[in-house]
Amino acid sequence: MHLGDDYADGEEGRLDLPRPDLDWFGELLVSARAWRLLEPLMGEHVQALPVDFTTGEECFILNVLTVLAGVIDPVASQAEYFKSGRIMRVERMVFGVDDPLYNWPPAFRIAEMRATRFINAEVRELIRDAGLTGGAFTPVEVRLKPR
């Protein structure tokens, strides 16, 4: 993806589109506006790294620090795994928890899929209510683990 003054559409040259508040550039890239909204919720779960663009825009790369292990329900999920136990491809992701009131961190990764970032419902609602642009959300089902 082009991160200059405009976005390229591949055929017509450049499109004069507003830069989104949330973007993906190997890590999550957010506008200063987005970070001001998200920062109070993130605490020790996210490291914000300032990015200097030649355009003078203030942006941040968000490095999600929290990694959860053992939250995937392997029976209910549909995924292919590498021999290492990491996930290769997911058709359906289901998380399993022991406590129905489990307090999900605002942002996290999972041990089996470290390149993917997850957010909790509170962060999702904040992003939607603020009208931040550029984010796409895929819901993850959460079930109680059988006892």
| Ranges under pLDDT 70 in the chain | 1-17
> Is 1 a domain residue?
no
Confidence at residue 135, expressed as pLDDT on a 0 to 100 scale: 82
> Is 47 a domain residue?
yes
Q: Count how many domains the chain has.
A: 1
* pTM confidence score: 0.82
Percent of the chain with pLDDT over 70: 88
Confidence at residue 1, expressed as pLDDT on a 0 to 100 scale: 26
> Is 98 a domain residue?
yes
Range of the domain at 79: 7-144
> Is 2 a domain residue?
no
Beta strands in the chain (DSSP E): 7-8, 14-15, 22-24, 28-31, 46-52, 58-64, 67-68, 78-81, 87-92, 94-97, 107-110, 113-119, 141-144
Query: Residues with Cβ < 8 Å from 78, sequence gap 6 or more?
Result: 90, 91, 92
> Is 21 a domain residue?
yes
> Is 67 a domain residue?
yes
Confidence at residue 63, expressed as pLDDT on a 0 to 100 scale: 95
